[in-house]
Amino acid sequence: PQPLGFVGLGQMGLPIAKRLLAAGHALVAFDLRDELRPVLEAAGAEWARHAREVAERCDTVFVSLPTPKAVEAVVLGPDGLVEGDALKVYVDLSTTGPEAARQVAAALAERGVTAMDAPVSGGVASAERGGLALMVSGPREVFERLRPVLGSFAANLFHVGEQPGMGHLMKLINNLLSTTALAASFEALSVGAKAGLDPRTMLEVLSVSSGTNHAIDYKIPLFLMQDKPIGFALELSMKDVRLAVEAGERLCGPMRVGRVTQQIWQEAMDAGGPQQDYLQVVRLFEAWADVNWAHGAEAARADVAREPAA
Ligand code: NAD
């Protein structure tokens, strides 16, 4: 069988590519960052000079890229995937929103290439253990054909529609909810901490009460309070919120809740820079409330934190 292609070996792409290799697939990889070459070669992949070479050697190519612009450059730019004549199926694991997905899919369709949306949820830790959730759209028969390959890095596979953009819209809906819940949790916990409630006690109570969510169960106790980065840059989270608000406003008018989250995320970008881990948004809430509860805390009790659903 032909090797699989992979472009974009960052926080998410690298562990996904390693899972594909571990499942026995041959892989041809490319990333702008040359320093990744020895890492990929040590893991058993071959390195390509550009995206076009990947699409000349592989009929199925995955991308895991930061922004809609990067996806456009990799697919349609000079030495892009679209120039490789082996390419038949293009699978976009990035979070790039429905608009970019539709444009790229239309350009690829002219060359007889099928574009599949396959954005992922779950983060770096889930990627490493093959536990991602995948929201796929595109022709169902292609989804079914890809299922075994996707199953090597994702535990929950969903086919959410036939049209390009539907998978990406599903992913934006997820991230709008997850970022909003994170913001609301930071605010609520700051209030309790300011009043003297112990943060770990609050997490324990909330995790078995109606206020719980993925931030309470997982992100805050297992990463933030242990001073461990979760591996997602604030600027990428900001991009998700922006794309979600844009898509929502095109469809439904003003996104009242989403816009507040977007504004807070922008303030955090201005204060701490785009590259900081996105859980560091908590620093704003701590500053506003003049209380420190999230950093240098003792490891949260293991029974507070459950595994994420996805
Ligand atoms: P990242 O910035 O760590 O990785 C992106 C990689 O793409 C980098 O290695 C970069 O060098 C490469 N790249 C950029 N432009 C390129 C180009 N023109 N040609 C070749 N390579 C190029 O980002 P990430 O955290 O791995 O996220 C990737 C995508 O997955 C994003 O869209 C993000 O929103 C989404 N996502 C991330 C997470 C997470 O927890 N990190 C979770 C779910 C979804």
Which of 71, 75, 91, 236, when mutated, tests ligand 1's pocket best, judged by the most ligand atoms within 8 Å of its CB? 236
Contact 133, 121 (CB under 8 A): yes
- pLDDT-derived band at 116, boundaries 50, 70, 90: very high
Can you give the pLDDT at residue 72?
Answer: 97
Q: Could you read off the pLDDT of 276-289 as tens digits, one per residue?
A: 999 999 999 999 99
Q: Could you read off the pLDDT of 136-191 as tens digits, one per residue?
A: 999 999 999 999 999 999 999 999 999 999 999 999 999 999 999 999 999 999 99
Tokens for 242, please give them: 């922006």
Greatest alpha-carbon span in the chain: 64
Query: Which residues are designated catalytic?
Result: 171
Query: Which residues face 117 on adjacent strands?
Result: 92, 137
Can you give the pLDDT at residue 20?
Answer: 98
Buried/exposed code over 107-122 (b: 16+ C-beta within 10 A; e: otherwise): bbeeeebbbbbbbbbb
Q: How far is the CA of 94 from the centre of ligand 1 (A)?
A: 7
Q: Is 47 in the pocket of ligand 1 (CB under 6 A)?
A: no
Class of 169-289 per CATH? mainly alpha
Q: Is 123 in the pocket of ligand 1 (CB under 6 A)?
A: yes
Q: Is 232 in the pocket of ligand 1 (CB under 6 A)?
A: yes
Which of 7, 12, 62, 79, when mutated, tests ligand 1's pocket best, judged by the most ligand atoms within 8 Å of its CB? 12
Q: What are the residue ranges of CATH 3.40.50.720 in the chain?
A: 4-162
Q: Which helix (H) or strand (E) holds 264?
A: helix 256-272
4-162: which CATH number, 1.10.8.100, 4.10.410.60, 3.40.50.720, 1.10.287.130? 3.40.50.720
Name the burial class of residue 252, with classes exposed (0-12), middle (13-18) and buried (19+) by CB atoms within 10 angstroms of its CB: exposed
> What is the DSSP secondary structure assignment for residue 50, as one 8-state letter?
S
Q: How far is the CA of 65 from the centre of ligand 1 (A)?
A: 4
How far apart are the C-alpha atoms of 153 and 170, rounded to whole Å? 19
How far apart are the C-alpha atoms of 134 and 139, rounded to whole Å? 15
Shortest-distance Cα residue to atom 21 of ligand 1: 31
Can you give the pLDDT at residue 300?
Answer: 36
Q: Is 13 in the pocket of ligand 1 (CB under 6 A)?
A: yes
Q: What are the residue ranges of CATH 1.10.1040.10 in the chain?
A: 169-289
Q: Could you read off the pLDDT of 13-22 as tens digits, one per residue?
A: 999 999 999 9
Name the burial class of residue 44, with classes exposed (0-12), middle (13-18) and buried (19+) by CB atoms within 10 angstroms of its CB: middle
> What is the DSSP secondary structure assignment for residue 53, as one 8-state letter?
H
Q: Is 132 in the pocket of ligand 1 (CB under 6 A)?
A: no
Q: Is 70 in the pocket of ligand 1 (CB under 6 A)?
A: yes
Segment among 18-22, 201-205, 295-299, 306-310 with least mean pLDDT? 306-310
| Helical ranges in 25-67 per DSSP H | 37-42, 51-57
3-state secondary structure of 40: helix
Closest CA to 107 of 76, 85, 142: 76
pTM check: above 0.85: yes
Q: How far is the CA of 69 from the centre of ligand 1 (A)?
A: 12
- pLDDT-derived band at 308, boundaries 50, 70, 90: very low
CA torsion through residues 50, 51, 52, 56, sign: positive
Are β-strands 89-92 and 114-117 bridged in parallel, bridged antiparallel, or unpaired? parallel
The mean pLDDT value for 58-82 works out to: 98
Q: Could you read off the pLDDT of 217-259 as tens digits, one per residue?
A: 999 999 999 999 999 999 999 999 999 999 999 999 999 999 9
Which of 16, 31, 135, when mutated, tests ligand 1's pocket best, judged by the most ligand atoms within 8 Å of its CB? 31
**Whether residue 296 has pLDDT greater than 50:** yes
Q: Is 179 in the pocket of ligand 1 (CB under 6 A)?
A: no
Q: How far is the CA of 197 from the centre of ligand 1 (A)?
A: 38
CA torsion through residues 49, 55, 57, 61, sign: positive
Calculate the alpha carbon distances from 67 to 37, 53, 230, 247, 307 in Å: 22, 22, 19, 15, 28
> What is the DSSP secondary structure assignment for residue 281, as one 8-state letter?
G
Can you give the pLDDT at residue 304?
Answer: 37
Residue 280 phi/psi, 5-degree rounding, is -70, -5
Q: Is 5 in the pocket of ligand 1 (CB under 6 A)?
A: no
